[in-house]
Amino acid sequence: MKFTILKKREELKQHLKDPLYRNSYYLMADSIIGSGLGFFFWMIVARFYDASDVGLAVALISSTGIVTSISRFGLDVSIIRFLNKQKNKREFINTCLTVVGIATLLISIVFLLGMDIWAQKLVFIKDSALYIFAFIVFTIISALLVILSNAFIALRDAKYAFLQSTIFACLKVPLPILLIPIFATFGIFGSWGISMSIAFFISIFFFLRKIIPFYFPYPVVKKETVKKIINEIYRFSGGNYIVNLFGAAPTLILPLMILHFLTPEDNAYYYIAFAIASLLFVIPGAFSMSLFAEGSFKEETFIPNLKKAIKRAYMLLVPASIFIIIFGKWLLLLFGEDYSASGHFLLSILAISGIFIVLNSFYITYLRIRLKITEFIIITILTVLGILGISYLLIQQPTLGITGVGFSYLFVQGIVSGYVGMIFWRRAKIKSIGEGERN
């Protein structure tokens, strides 16, 4: 008995020594802590703020996401793929941060100037200097935080990405209560931005130095480094830029679409249901990100690691999805009866779609590692257009409303998963035939 326990303990140690699994679990813990404490954040917000304020704050946070998706230029993904290949990692990181920071500042200003066109129900922020300043600063921090988090992953130490997310998530839980006597919608948006800013400064001044000794952030756009970025990763960054821009579109555009066609309250009910479902999507996302980092570091291990990652992801996601479907109604009751009544069916549909999202996420990682950027772009664009297009049609139906978003996710992800499964099966069959002929 003692020998069996010792053997299992040793197997567990070896399992956790594998960078694929170790970083996957850190990334899952990162997302679970972020999403889990985010769950409490939105639960507190739902209890202390009107649903209309919640819906407006959701749209405001989504707007910052739209800006940062444009301003990162694909460097958030490219830094994972190429940072370890750079001799001067400090300069490479600082160049990425500088380029993204300047771009975010300029695009934030453009977004604010054109808000009458693309976000009419948010124009109230243009009447407040506080809102304008906060929107610009928080949007820049949000963009830089992603670059920094992915730098930790690229350096194969996702522990610090986990700590960064934990600080962010822990700080934002009590802030809405502290700010509610002073602000309404800004109490939510400010809590999100202030906690994120603190997490960013701790990460860049303390955590990054743990990996890169004597690191110090400073603005730099050196000609040699920029030329290297353009020459070495332009095609990769360009493709990922397009993919990230489209890939983030459903999450970021749907709240604005729902706010336009429905009500701020509907937007709040949708967002809370989606936030809970996102806890499931953490699983394929974490394994895919870790697989991408490992495959970039040592490409010959990618296929064996891919098989292990898919198996492990389904082992975790299937029971988690069943749990959400069964107990989702009671989870939503924590936010209020209206959230449960309006969001339960949507949450169940999203939980089922997670089964398809697993396979699709790993195929995207496969295309990234193999640098099949064209197929990568085509699949992403078609998926996004499908989700947004079908959602646009369905949410306007009186009998569906926000539930239409769930059906659009389920249908589109299912179609893509069928295509991916066919591709994987065909390639496995060809490999099997080839091995048989050699034998």
pLDDT tens, residue by residue, 89-140: 888 888 889 989 999 999 999 999 888 777 777 888 888 888 899 999 999 9
- Rounded to a whole number of angstroms, the CA Rg of the chain reads 22
Contact 57, 42 (CB under 8 A): no
- In the predicted model, what is the mean pLDDT of the chain? 81
Q: What is the pLDDT of residue 232?
A: 53
Helix (H, G, I), strand (E, B) or coil at 375: helix
pLDDT level of residue 78 (50, 70, 90 thresholds) = confident
Is residue 434 pLDDT above 50, yes or no? Answer: no
Helices marked H in 49-128: 51-71, 75-82, 89-113, 115-118
pLDDT tens across 299-347, in order? 666 777 788 888 888 888 999 999 999 999 998 988 888 889 999 999 9
With b for 16 or more beta-carbon neighbours within 10 A and e for fewer, the 73-86 pattern comes to: bbbbbbbbbbbeeb
Residue with tokens 């303390």: 206
Q: Which residues contact 335 (CB under 8 A, 6 or more apart)?
A: 42, 43, 46, 47, 272
Is residue 298 pLDDT above 70, yes or no? Answer: no
Is residue 82 pLDDT above 90, yes or no? Answer: no
Q: Which domain holds residue 280?
A: 2-426
Residue 374 lies in a domain: yes
Q: What is the pLDDT of residue 281?
A: 85
Max alpha carbon distance in the chain (Å)?
75
Identify the CA nearest to 94 among candidates 235, 220, 255: 220
pLDDT level of residue 276 (50, 70, 90 thresholds) = confident
Q: How many angstroms separate the Cα of 361 from the Cα of each of 249, 282, 286, 422?
A: 16, 11, 10, 15
Neighbours of 125 (CB within 10 A): 20
Residue 87 lies in a domain: yes
Q: Which residues contact 332 (CB under 8 A, 6 or more apart)?
A: 272, 273, 276, 339, 340, 343, 344, 347
Residue 239 lies in a domain: yes
Which amino acid is present at 32? I
Residue 434 lies in a domain: no
pLDDT tens across 211-222, in order? 888 888 888 776
- The predicted model scores a pTM of 0.70
Of the spans 23-27, 86-90, 101-105, 240-244, which averages the highest pLDDT? 101-105
Contact 35, 97 (CB under 8 A): no
Domain count, the chain: 1
Identify the CA nearest to 68 among candidates 252, 199, 285: 252
Which of 14-28, 389-403, 420-434 has the weakest average pLDDT? 14-28
Residue 389 lies in a domain: yes
**From CA 35, how far away is CA 324, in angstroms rounded?**
14
Contact 192, 168 (CB under 8 A): no
Residue 78 lies in a domain: yes
**From CA 402, how far away is CA 160, in angstroms rounded?**
36
**Segment 410-435 mean pLDDT:** 77
Q: Which residues contact 209 (CB under 8 A, 6 or more apart)?
A: 215
**From CA 322, how far away is CA 44, in angstroms rounded?**
26
pLDDT tens across 143-199, in order? 999 998 888 888 877 788 888 888 998 888 888 888 876 666 678 888 899 999 999
Residue 398 lies in a domain: yes
Residue with tokens 């769950």: 39
